[in-house]
């Protein structure tokens, strides 16, 4: 016999998507209250006992945009932004008959459009370059931080710590990623990108995301890498960033905003069972 609590929580629909292997669960909550709690996000993000994702994106209503998005990390913490998930959500909304959409996020209202080749392009908003805005623990040069390797710091609006190295394939990402994610210089932790400049318009990137770990791609990370490359005098304003899962086209505009274009993929739809939901500790 079903336990009484399983009967009080209906199944919850979701969609699994990815952008360059950066994978997401998308929940459309426009029809009611946001159902996601830290416990649900962490349980859903578990790749063995849940569905598994790099980030969870919850679509909601917005008075000043077509929709809102709230992002969650796999450890149940809230993320400030997720560029590839933003493109995936834009794809979902565009299937409703739109060719462009606006999305309310923690980084303000972002605009997205479908390109002629099927890719989704999103304006990720302005890069945050001041130490207080990233944020850092103290005042320092955000182009070349006083740390080994002299990384750049960029907020998109997630904090990012960007290292440029001679051979990115030789970096011990599993060891170096968590070391810098929790460094005292980053009071809110940080995403960590290791990059190799292949040409003035092409960068190879590997990424460790705070609250998640190694991912095949990171949209906000690619934005931060593009900005850091220009600030260090290494690259042009328009670059291709090559992640483990594929390529993104980035441009740091003269108005300070960063645009990002790339593909999205719809994998499957499903429902979280009442039993799964009832087993959560909230």
Query: What does the pLDDT read at residue 8?
Result: 53
88 included as an active-site residue? no
82 included as an active-site residue? yes
Give the SS3 label for residue 169.
helix
CA distances from 45 to 29, 39, 56, 156 (A): 18, 10, 8, 23
Query: What does the pLDDT read at residue 3?
Result: 42
Domain residue extents for the chain? 4-125+264-278, 127-262
Locate all alpha helices (DSSP H) within 3-141, ordered by sequence.
Answer: 4-7, 38-45, 83-94
Contact 145, 153 (CB under 8 A): yes
Q: Average pLDDT of the chain?
A: 94
Q: Which long-range contacts (CB under 8 A, 24 or more apart) does 91-99 make?
A: 91/17, 91/120, 91/264, 91/266, 92/15, 92/17, 92/26, 92/28, 92/59, 93/59, 93/66, 93/67, 94/120, 98/66
Name the CATH superfamily, with its identifier, for domain 127-262: Diaminopimelate Epimerase; Chain A, domain 1 (3.10.310.10)
Does the pTM exceed 0.85? yes
Domains 4-125+264-278 and 127-262 fall in the same CATH topology: yes
**Stretches in the chain below the pLDDT threshold 50:** 1-7
CATH hierarchy code of domain 4-125+264-278: 3.10.310.10
Q: Of the listed 88, 195, 218, 223, which one is catalytic?
A: 218
Written as six digits, the tokens of 271 are: 């429902």
Query: What does the pLDDT read at residue 162?
Result: 98
Query: What does the pLDDT read at residue 223?
Result: 97
- Cross-strand pairs, 82: none
């Amino acid at each position: 016999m079903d336990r009484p609590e399983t009967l009080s929580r209906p199944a919850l629909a979701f969609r699994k998507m990815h952008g360059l292997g950066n994978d997401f669960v998308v929940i459309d909550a426009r029809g009611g209250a946001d159902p996601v709690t830290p416990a649900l996000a962490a349980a859903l993000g578990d790749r063995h006992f849940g569905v598994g994702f790099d980030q969870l994106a919850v679509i909601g209503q917005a008075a000043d945009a077509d929709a809102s998005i709230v992002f969650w990390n796999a450890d149940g913490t809230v993320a400030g932004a997720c560029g590839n998930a933003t493109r995936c959500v834009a794809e979902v909304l565009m299937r409703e008959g739109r060719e462009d959409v606006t999305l309310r996020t923690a980084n303000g209202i972002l605009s997205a459009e479908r390109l002629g080749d099927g890719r989704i392009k999103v304006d990720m908003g302005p890069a945050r370059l001041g130490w207080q805005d990233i944020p850092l623990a103290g005042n320092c040069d955000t182009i070349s931080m006083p740390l080994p390797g002299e990384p750049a710091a960029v907020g998109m609006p997630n904090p990012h710590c960007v290292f440029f190295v001679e051979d990115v394939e030789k970096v011990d990402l599993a060891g170096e990623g968590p070391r810098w994610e929790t460094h005292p210089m980053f009071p809110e932790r940080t995403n960590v990108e290791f990059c190799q400049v292949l040409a003035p318009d092409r960068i190879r990137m590997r990424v460790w995301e705070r609250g998640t770990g190694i991912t095949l791609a990171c949209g906000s990370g690619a934005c931060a890498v593009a900005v850091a490359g220009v600030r260090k005098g290494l690259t042009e304003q328009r670059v291709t960033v090559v992640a483990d899962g594929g390529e993104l086209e980035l441009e740091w505009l003269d108005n300070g905003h960063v645009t990002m274009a790339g593909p999205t993929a719809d994998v499957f739809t499903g429902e979280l069972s009442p039993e799964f939901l009832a087993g959560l500790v909230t």
